[in-house]
Amino acid sequence: MSNSGGNVDTVMLEKRLFPPPAEFAAKAKIGSLEEYQKLYELAAVDPVAFWDGLAKTELHWFEPYTKTLEWNPPFAKWFVGGKTNASYNCLDRHLDGPRRNKAAIIWEGEPGDQRTLTYQQLHREVCKFANVLKARGLAAGDVVSIYMPMTPELVIAMLACARIGAVHSVIFAGFSAEAIAERNNDAQARMVITSDGLWRRGKLLPLKEAVDQALAKSPTVESVIVLRRVGNDVNMQAGRDYWWQEQMDEASADCPATPLDSEHSLYILYTSGSTGKPKGIRHTTAGYNLFVKKTFEWVFDYRDEDIFWCTADCGWVTGHSYVVYGPLSAGATVLMYEGALNFPAEDRTWDIIERYGVNVLYTAPTAIRACIKWGDAHVEKHDLSSLRLLGTVGEGINPEAWMWYHRVVGKERCPIVDTWWQTETGGIMMSPLPGAIPTKPGSCTKPLPGILPQVVDERGNEVDRHHGGWLTITHPWPGMLRGIWGDDERYAKTYWSRIPGKYLAGDNARLDDDGYFWIMGRIDDVINVSGHRLSTIEVESALVSHPNVAEAAAVGRPDDLKGQAIAVFVTLKNAEPDEALKQELKLHVRKEIGALAQPDDIHFTNALPKTRSGKIMRRLLRDVACGKESTGDTSTLEDYTVLARLRAEEE
């Protein structure tokens, strides 16, 4: 054990503890801490045997595997030699029992249109579309870019690719033509699936136009399939572009799933690195499928009668794992919503929950903070009694935002699962099991069975409890990325070189006395004040606990005296920015977590720069804080005007 080196100091002490409600625990599949501990210990002693036992029963095998894990660090192969198919596991497996006529997807469009697809209907659509792909000459191993609105057809397209072994690369339908072209080229995509347009806050976004521009620079793309969604005029190039609906009319519904090697690539998903070009994270078939199915069942305490709503878009990994592959392979009913959560009004989320009787809500801290800002009245006018479980993902949740979620949405009755994971991990790595693990606001609590995390210093030694350090995973797991598309070297360097033999997540974390994990933000975001390394989330959470702060982002800027000074960017609720409030916020942080963490600069702003999936882009704020132009990749920035406005506010 060590407490030296590059550790991060913690200044936040959160003492509140919420045991699983007795009623919830009584019905839960894993209903006590002892049960969790037993399962965790069993898996930890021999993770390979643990996953082997699950894989045999949880997936359908066309051919059994001969070896559970082949580990040539940093390259892992799981269930070697087996043949399976993710589309088969998500669909065909449910067709010979009562789930056949169960709703797989209940969908609502932004304008309010609704559709429901049973497992049998979804299977039929997927088979037909798989035949459309084949008719265009696609086969196993070919890459298909998907740039679509959150419609059932997006899921159909993903599963149809999986069915024939084509590798999908979903590109968030809000990225620019430039970003599409870059991804098409990196992956050598042969096809793009898109739609005429999409609805966003009542406005039309012309998707096909962006694809047309991208194709001028995407020489590998041979054909385009276009779904009619909005009805706007689009340019269709003969011999290249085909209407989805016309192709489907002609397609047969008979398309057996292709038996695919366990390690066959299922998908690529691009995620932005802090600098340079985006990384194509590669996931494969069997291990990923098993991991998302089991983590879905464990974390959401899955019940057959549930309606599960994950608000994530399929343009990022949460949509892949917990809108599509996890819930569907578990036979769940997924609610899918196309549009913005505040359209036509700020109560759309709660309205949807009430109207469909949603039981489990899985969303992001950024959405929760927005709801807090919009006000409790939007929530309170709806009957949310169907909810039994709440979840968050994507960023750390500030304890006060957690408390609001717990009180105002969950009525102190629903456990909250704060799930830590990454595009690279494929599925949830750490999270409370809601019937078993008491929760603490702001902590993702404990690792899931089969996951072995360790917090280490720069030399790879485990740090003492309460000392922050680098979060690593010490044993391979089935859902882990298998590489960066076309760049093994970057894969090895990014994740496996700084701490040899361990997966480096790139996040800071610490353990408390109860063995709970606290994620402290990205490694690169640490602020070093007079030799004390502070985590961004702790300063931000102290700010968010002030009644007038809606959101906050903390970054370091160079300071001659202290090394770094703390600059914070704050959005307000129920208050006007002024000098007095600045002073008050400084003192508030000082009182909450200490003089060391007192911000030097406070910038008030209307909005923070965020990624499309809602993460605060601190790297860009660092540039603003030191008065620099940003140089890094901004292709994932949600609202380009935010940076310009922030700079203007500085002048």
Task: Between 391 and 476, name the residue whose CB sits nearer to ligand WTA.
Answer: 391
Centre a 10 Å sphere on the Cβ of residue 352 and count the other Cβ atoms it contains: 18
- Closest CA relative to residue 316, chosen from 411, 421, 228, 401: 421
CB of 318 to ligand WTA, least distance (A): 5
Q: Provide, rounded to whole angstroms, the least separation between the CB of residue 439 and ligand WTA.
A: 12
Q: Which range touches ligand WTA (CB under 6 A), out of 86-94, 393-401, 472-480, 541-549?
A: 393-401
Tokens 């036509």 — which residue? 344
Does 171 bind ligand WTA (CB under 6 A)? Our answer is no
Part of the chain binding ligand WTA (CB under 6 A), chosen from 190-198, 300-308, 314-322, 449-457? 314-322
> What CA–CA distances, in Å, run from 435 to 29, 79, 200, 327, 592?
8, 31, 37, 19, 32
Q: Half-sphere exposure of 51 toward its Cβ, with a 13 Å CA cutoff?
A: 28
The per-type count for the chain, helices as H runs and strands as E runs, is 21, 30
Distance, CA of 284 to CA of 423 (rounded, Å): 13
Distance in Å, CB of 214 to ligand WTA, minimum? 23
CB of 474 to ligand WTA, least distance (A): 17
Cβ–Cβ under 8 Å, residues 197 and 210: no
Q: Which amino acid is at 543?
A: L
Nearest distance in Å: CB 3, ligand WTA: 23
Tell me which residues in 612-631 interact with ligand WTA (CB under 6 A). 613
- Which lies closer to ligand WTA via its Cβ, residue 251 or residue 451? 451
Does residue 393 bind ligand WTA (CB under 6 A)?
Answer: yes
H-only helix segments in 65-200? 86-90, 119-135, 152-164, 177-187
Q: How far is the CB of 430 from ligand WTA (least distance, A)?
A: 8
- The nearer residue to ligand WTA, 450 or 521, going by C-beta atoms, is 521
Chain positions 414 to 433 lying near ligand WTA, rule: CB under 6 A, are 418-423
Q: Rule CB under 6 A: say whether 519 interacts with ligand WTA.
A: yes
**Nearer Cβ to ligand WTA, position 89 or 431?**
431
Nearer to ligand WTA, 306 or 395 (CB): 395
Report the residue number whose CB is nearest to ligand WTA.
423
In the complex, what is the shortest distance from the CB of residue 339 to ligand WTA, in angstroms, rounded to a whole number?
A: 21
Residues 521-560 binding ligand WTA (CB under 6 A) are 522
Structure tokens at 593: 């977590």
Judged by CB under 6 A, the stretch of 36-44, 100-108, 217-225, 413-421 that binds ligand WTA is 413-421
For residues 99 and 119, give the distance between their C-alpha atoms in angstroms, rounded to a whole number: 7
| CB closer to ligand WTA, 145 vs 431 | 431
Residue numbers 77-96 binding ligand WTA by CB under 6 A: none
Cβ distance 613 to 318 under 8 Å? yes
> How far is it, in rounded angstroms, from Cα 153 to Cα 196?
13
337 vs 420, beta carbon nearer ligand WTA? 420
Per CB under 6 A, 491 contacts ligand WTA: no
Tell whether residue 394 is a contact of ligand WTA (CB under 6 A).
yes
**Residue nearer to ligand WTA on the CB measure, 46 or 524:** 524
* Angle subtended at Cα 223 by Cα 143 and Cα 154, rounded to the nearest 5 degrees: 60
Under 8 Å between Cβ of 339 and 199 = yes
Decide: is 507 part of the binding site for ligand WTA (CB under 6 A).
Answer: yes
Number of amino acids touching ligand WTA (CB under 6 A): 21
Nearer to ligand WTA by Cβ, of 265 and 535: the residue is 535
Phi, psi of 77 (to 5 degrees): -130, 130
| Cα separations in angstroms, 328 against 62, 296, 333, 357, 424 | 19, 10, 8, 19, 21
User: Candidates 101-109, 501-509, 598-606, 617-625 — which segment interacts with ligand WTA by CB under 6 A?
Assistant: 501-509
Tokens at 616, concatenated: 């605060």
Please list, in sequence order, all residues whose beta carbon lies within 8 angstroms of the beta carbon of residue 526, skipping any fewer than 6 positions away. Answer: 8, 508, 533, 534, 535, 536, 556
- Nearest residue (CB) to ligand WTA, 164 versus 269: 269
Q: How far is CA 623 from CA 83, 570, 599, 630, 643, in A?
A: 49, 16, 17, 6, 10
Distance in Å, CB of 314 to ligand WTA, minimum: 13
Interface pick for ligand WTA out of 165, 280, 396, 426 (rule CB under 6 A) = 396
Region binding ligand WTA by CB under 6 A among candidate stretches 79-87, 158-166, 298-306, 504-512? 504-512
Task: Please say whether the beta carbons of 478 and 291 come within 8 A.
Answer: yes
Identify which range of 26-34, 41-49, 199-207, 505-513 contacts ligand WTA by CB under 6 A.
Answer: 505-513
**Cα 260 off chain centre by:** 26
Of residues 91, 384, 444, 585, which one binds ligand WTA by CB under 6 A? Answer: 444
Does 271 help bind ligand WTA (rule: CB under 6 A)?
Answer: yes
From CA 645, how far away is CA 154, in angstroms rounded?
Answer: 34
Q: Which range in 298-306, 367-375, 412-420, 641-649 contacts ligand WTA by CB under 6 A?
A: 412-420
Mark 580-619 with x for binding to ligand WTA (rule: CB under 6 A) and - for no binding: ---------------------------------x------
Burial 522-558 (b: 16+ CB within 10 A, else e): bbebbbbbeebbbbbbbbbbbbbbbebbbbbbbbbbe
Cβ atoms within 10 Å, residue 29: 14
Long-range residue pairs from 40-46, CB within 8 A, at least 24 positions apart, any chain = 40/446, 40/447, 40/449, 42/449, 43/449, 43/450, 44/449, 44/450, 44/452
Of 98-106, 353-361, 391-399, 446-454, which part binds ligand WTA (CB under 6 A)?
391-399
SS3 state at 485? coil
Rounded to a whole number of angstroms, the minimum distance from the CB of residue 127 to ligand WTA is: 30
How far apart (Å, rounded) are the C-alpha atoms in residues 132 and 226? 12
Minimum distance, C-beta of residue 75 to ligand WTA, in the bound complex (Å)? 21
* Residues engaged in binding ligand WTA (CB under 6 A): 271, 316-318, 393-396, 418-423, 444, 505-507, 519, 522, 613
